[in-house]
Structure 1
């Protein structure tokens, strides 16, 4: 199967703790909404929320999926995430090892599933 890099996405989503990160990662991969989820070490986030400056520790998730699966992945993240307005940002993959991108596409649900 020839896979276009334009079909693959890297989704970034920060979560508040390791338990949430692990749970979301397992659900997304098990439900075939993501081929892989990297749980990165904690980072400090500084942001404005409800008019006030906030600072908190969060764990970034790097989620590999496809455009065809993105809407379902976003909906599932909204269901699983404890924040009212979680960070969910999808970036197109501009380049990548063709074998890896093929693997991503084969691991996630297609638009027909």
Structure 2
């Protein structure tokens, strides 16, 4: 039996193509504020504690792209969005408690970080 495969160009426009097990981290910040800078530093630290690296990491300045913030319903910054296997989670704040954040997101920590 042949598996059904439909290239993105032929996919129905109203149907989303699943991202399998791809993981995405997006940090929404507001300019160069102290809380934005702190959240960026804490995101770097989070990434060092993660057992598996995220497939895609973005830092998005909502002051530079307010339409994107509105489209994604970002009401406060900094906000970290995590998407994995169709599951989405968001955390608002400076991301200071790394271990607790990774537990909430369901991301495994490296063995020596636990």
Structure 1 or 2, whichever has the larger Rg, is: 2
Check whether TM > 0.5.
Answer: no
| Structure with the largest fraction of strand | 1
TM-score (norm 2): 0.32
**TM-score, with structure 1 as normaliser:** 0.32
